[in-house]
Each structure stands twice: as C-alpha cells, then as structure tokens.
Structure 1
C-alpha cells in the first residue's frame, strides 16, 4: 500500500471554500482505500489530507482523472502552499 499525509495552507480566509471545492470534486478513484480531509485545529488556514492507496501507481493515475484535474484547477487559486507532505507505507487498520 501507499500513503500520503499532507498539510495544505489555504489562502487567508479561504479554508472553508477550499474544503467545499475539494469535497464537491470527490469521485470514485481506482485503488483509493481512504481519502480524508480535515481542518487543522491549530491553524485558521490549515488543512490535513490523509490518503491510503493500494499502490503508488494508483495514486499517480488518479491525477489524470478529468474530475480530479478539474478540482485541482478550481482549488489552485485558494491554495497558499503545501506546508508539509509525508509518504507512508500503510500496513493495515480499520476500513483498509
């Protein structure tokens, strides 16, 4: 399995709008076992994204799905930065 945990910073005051765009753009993605969006309680603009995929290749392929590309395009103006990103190797858990 392949995992990503990332912290994104929304442009000031844009976190809720960015979360809305990201949620509206969610579609089934082959190989995606879990995709979680969360507010960072320690930052007014922070968002955590936690992903679990069956493989790194499935994650890469998801970036070519038309709806995902459209969501990225709509979200980009509301993103200030990608503050942190960590790759992980999930071994199991609830819902996986």
Structure 2
C-alpha cells in the first residue's frame, strides 16, 4: 500500500522540530556542515545505515565537509510522506554526534 502524502502545513509543522530541514518543492532537504571530510564521510555512512534500516533512501551527497540530503516518496507520487519525516528525524538525531552544524 503506497504511503499517503502529507499536507504542506503538516510538513512545515513537523520540520519546525528539525533544525536545518526545509521543504523544497515536493522534497524535504538539509545540508549539514561538518568539521572535516572524514567527519562528513562518517555521517554519510551512518545515514546510509539508517536508510537501509528504514528501507527508505534519500538523495545523499558527500562534499568536502558537507553532507546534503533530499527526500520524497516515490510510491506517493514524489510527495513528502511520514516515511520522509521519520528519515529526517533519525538523521537529525545522529548528525550532532558527528559534529554536524
């Protein structure tokens, strides 16, 4: 059964609890700045682990000292769903442990 898209006002309300996460069109996104490339790579691996646990994957980009994510749900027509909010919440919880700002 496909996930149901969330209304825009609910997405915005939920993102207010997730610093750095924004609604960009039909996706939610965040870019984390880290103290080093090694720290950014570590966060990327941690995010990949979370995505596998959730069986829900974002577009994930590793830069020199940045990690950028953007996500929506393909099974909901490319809209934001509860699965996307759950992924963002899990990432937001682990990012500070890698020194992310």
With structure 1 as the length reference, what TM-score do the two structures score?
Answer: 0.52
Equivalent in the alignment of 1:28: 55
Counterpart CA distance in 1 for 2:31 and 2:95 is 15
What is the correspondence of 1:35-50 to structure 2 with a 5 Å cutoff? 35-40=58-63, 44-50=64-70
With structure 2 as the length reference, what TM-score do the two structures score?
Answer: 0.50
What is the correspondence of 1:63-74 to structure 2 with a 5 Å cutoff? 69=90, 72-74=92-94
RMSD: 2.9
Secondary structure of the 1:37 match is strand
- 1:52 Cα offset (Å): 1.4
Which structure dedicates a bigger proportion of its chain to strand? 1
Equivalent in the alignment of 2:33: 9
